[in-house]
């Protein structure tokens, strides 16, 4: 009898403990209450409002997910050129997204068409916006070659629609990426019922949509046109979509808008090109992989495709594709995207076809001693310009900032509807330990701090103040416009220049249809002036990953 009572008592205690722990777990769910204060959130009575149903980052149009990790950046294979500009070093990159293919002619034509419709070149105020975005189709010309068919047709003829865009400068690639960001987020807001449907087709030059303007000053989005951003009856729909303090507009904390499209960093591009995700070989991990595909050769060893070329490149003197027929690689100039097999990340043409711009300013070394995480040289920190009333300054049709490049071409650095950007100042840099200047392109390689013990070589030749203190003695061409708009071009004729490297040259990666297979190695790196273009350099966009490193936020298991 006593034994039965003991068992009954133990069962009751176990049941009570289960009920107690269940109630504790329920109270610690924190889905509707604050882990900090215990207050209820998202309640009608008040409290902090946030989006508990926000999922992981959606994959933007054209992008593929690249899970980040560590890899050996730089060349560890044979180096017959002895460039000494890609010494191997260990780097780690965060997860990100990258375009499946290079940006195509069709994609860029969509950009040009939008600019022409919104900023008609017939209007003198906007003429230079469209002209600054036009590609340099003359890059195809050769003094001893007949290439006029490409000069006249490559960009606009539908036969080349799915071919990678060329004749594009680094500056133009950046502006395309900015435009793409705003158009993708503009459509997201429209699809969610936040903005008036088809508003993107009806905007005026001073009412263009900008993601950052909408997030920082939503009442100024679309030029402050309230009928577009709220739209009468639609204002109720907006209030349901976002219950923040304004009760009307989506904010960053709603998790709806995409991060910016941008050019990939050099480290990201090289990591993505190697496609290490599909391999579990120690030598590969340590940097022994030579191409985006497995193996040491440029031809396929698979039974069905044995002998086929795996990329579009120059195979020898006077040989841009092979003998016509089965052994040909299918292209003499560029090839249509997706003509060859993708790498293990699902990325096409990470070797051959066209070389690609990346975001970095070129230097012969990668300073892994200072940083080995998300390495990038090129940071120029800016902030939103604020007017005397404490409001952000939005660019209008009368305040577009134009920049004259070293080759005399004039480009718009911002468009109406965007927030004016200015360099960060002492308010942001005072007593900071992680950065002290707005422009960090030459940090530890030419700036005052890194040249503390640098000795001047040569005398000032008058072309620039403190000429002898410049780390890289590159030409300093100057272009200025007089009151009539005529450009005065001053070519640097100094015979004392020793390099073309400066803060205006950018890295480009990957071999092209004009290159031998030596350049197909993802570790190879070259540079070119950021405001010039060629017939063999294109680009693709990337996007940062927010949130978990892995897809779906789950760690892989063996």
Q: Is the dihedral of CA 469, 470, 475, 477 positive or negative?
A: negative
The alpha-carbon radius of gyration of the chain (Å, integer) is 28
- DSSP conformation letters of 446-492: TSTTTTTTPPP-S---SSSTTGGG-SS-----EEEE-TT--EEEE--
Residue 257 lies in a domain: yes
DSSP classification of residue 33: B
Q: Do the Cβ atoms of 506 and 531 come closer than 8 Å?
A: no
**309 and 188: one domain?**
yes
Give Cα separations from 458 to 165, 364, 455, 503 (angstroms). 43, 22, 10, 21
Instruction: Give the model's pLDDT for residue 456.
Output: 46
**495 and 512: one domain?**
no
**187 and 298: one domain?**
yes
**528 and 494: one domain?**
no
**190 and 160: one domain?**
yes
Overall number of domains in the chain = 2
**151 and 196: one domain?**
yes
Instruction: Give the model's pLDDT for residue 330.
Output: 85
Given pLDDT bands bounded at 50, 70 and 90, which one contains residue 83?
confident
Angle separating helix axes 170-191 and 105-118, nearest 10 degrees: 70
Q: Do the Cβ atoms of 407 and 400 come closer than 8 Å?
A: no
Residue 379 lies in a domain: no
CA-CA distance, 461 to 465, in Å (whole number)?
9
Residue 266 lies in a domain: yes
Residue 482 lies in a domain: yes
CATH number at residue 82: 3.90.1580.10
Give kind and range of the element (H or E) at residue 239. Answer: helix 234-241
Residue 434 lies in a domain: no
Instruction: Give the model's pLDDT for residue 354.
Output: 98
> Could you list the residue range(s) of the whole structural domain that residue 112 is in?
63-203+248-373+506-544
Strand order in the sheet with 96-99: 63-66, 96-99, 542-544, 261-262
**89 and 167: one domain?**
yes
Residue 230 lies in a domain: no
**166 and 142: one domain?**
yes
Q: What is the pLDDT of residues 255-301, one digit of tens each?
A: 889 999 999 999 999 999 998 876 655 555 555 678 898 888 888 88
CA-CA distance, 417 to 215, in Å (whole number)?
12
Instruction: Give the model's pLDDT for residue 509.
Output: 97
Instruction: Give the model's pLDDT for residue 458.
Output: 45
Given pLDDT bands bounded at 50, 70 and 90, which one contains residue 457?
very low
Q: Mean pLDDT, to the nearest integer, of 344-362?
A: 96
**335 and 467: one domain?**
no
**92 and 120: one domain?**
yes
Residue 4 lies in a domain: no
476 CB-contact burial (10 Å; exposed 0-12 / middle 13-18 / buried 19+): middle
Residue 90 lies in a domain: yes
**343 and 451: one domain?**
no
Give me the residue label for tokens 């939103």.
384
Give me the residue label for tokens 């009333």.
389
Instruction: Give the model's pLDDT for residue 241.
Output: 41
| Choice among 2-6, 113-117, 233-237, 300-304 with the minimum mean pLDDT | 233-237
| Choice among 27-41, 306-320, 353-367, 401-415 with the minimum mean pLDDT | 27-41
Tokens standing for 155? 């960009």
**458 and 540: one domain?**
no
């Amino acid at each position: 009898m006593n034994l039965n009572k003991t068992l009954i008592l133990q069962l009751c205690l176990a049941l009570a403990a289960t009920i107690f722990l269940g109630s504790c777990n329920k109270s610690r769910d924190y889905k509707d209450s604050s882990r900090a204060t215990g207050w209820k959130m998202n309640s009608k009575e008040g409290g902090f409002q946030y989006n508990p149903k926000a999922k992981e980052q959606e994959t933007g149009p054209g992008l593929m997910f690249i899970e980040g990790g560590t890899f050996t950046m730089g060349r560890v294979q044979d180096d017959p050129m002895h460039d000494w500009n890609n010494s191997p070093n260990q780097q780690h990159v965060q997860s990100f997204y990258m375009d499946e293919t290079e940006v195509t002619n069709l994609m860029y034509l969509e950009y040009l068409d939008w600019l022409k419709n919104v900023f008609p070149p017939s209007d003198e105020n906007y003429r230079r916006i469209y002209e600054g975005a036009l590609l340099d189709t003359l890059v195809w010309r050769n003094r001893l070659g007949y290439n006029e068919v490409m000069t006249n047709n490559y960009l606009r003829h539908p036969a080349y629609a799915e071919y990678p865009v060329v004749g594009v400068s680094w500056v133009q690639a950046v502006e395309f990426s900015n435009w793409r960001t705003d158009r993708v987020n503009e459509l997201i807001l429209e699809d969610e019922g936040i903005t008036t449907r088809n508003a993107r087709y009806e905007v005026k030059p001073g009412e263009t949509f900008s993601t950052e303007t909408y997030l920082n000053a939503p009442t100024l989005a679309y030029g402050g046109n309230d009928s577009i951003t709220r739209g009468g009856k639609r204002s109720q729909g907006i209030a349901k979509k976002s219950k923040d303090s304004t009760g009307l507009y989506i904010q960053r904390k709603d998790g709806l808008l995409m991060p910016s499209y941008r050019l990939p960093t050099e480290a990201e591009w090289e990591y993505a090109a190697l496609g290490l995700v599909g391999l579990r070989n120690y030598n590969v991990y340590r940097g022994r992989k030579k191409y985006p595909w497995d193996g040491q050769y440029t031809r396929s060893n698979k039974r069905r495709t044995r002998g086929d070329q795996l990329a579009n490149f120059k195979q020898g003197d006077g040989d841009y594709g092979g003998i016509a027929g089965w052994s040909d690689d299918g292209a003499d100039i560029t090839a249509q995207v997706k003509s060859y097999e993708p790498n293990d990340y699902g990325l096409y043409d990470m070797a051959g076809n066209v070389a690609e711009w990346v975001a970095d300013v070129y230097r012969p070394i990668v300073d892994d001693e200072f940083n080995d995480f998300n390495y990038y040289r090129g940071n120029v920190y800016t902030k939103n310009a604020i007017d005397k009333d404490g409001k952000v300054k939005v660019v209008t049709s009368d305040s577009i900032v134009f920049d004259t490049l070293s080759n005399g071409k004039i480009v718009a650095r911002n468009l109406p509807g965007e927030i004016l950007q200015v360099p960060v100042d002492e308010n942001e840099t005072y007593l900071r330990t992680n950065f002290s200047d707005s422009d960090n392109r030459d940090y530890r390689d030419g700036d005052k701090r890194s040249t503390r013990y640098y000795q001047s070589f040569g005398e000032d030749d008058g072309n620039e103040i403190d000429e002898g203190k410049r780390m890289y003695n590159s030409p300093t061409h100057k272009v200025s416009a007089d009151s009539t708009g005529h450009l005065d071009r001053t070519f640097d004729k100094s015979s004392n220049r020793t390099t073309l490297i400066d803060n205006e040259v950018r890295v480009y990666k990957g071999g092209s249809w004009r290159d031998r297979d030596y350049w197909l190695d993802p570790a190879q790196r070259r540079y070119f002036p950021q405001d010039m273009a060629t017939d063999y350099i294109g680009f693709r966009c990337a996007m940062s990953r927010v949130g978990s490193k892995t897809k779906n936020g789950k760690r892989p298991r063996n």
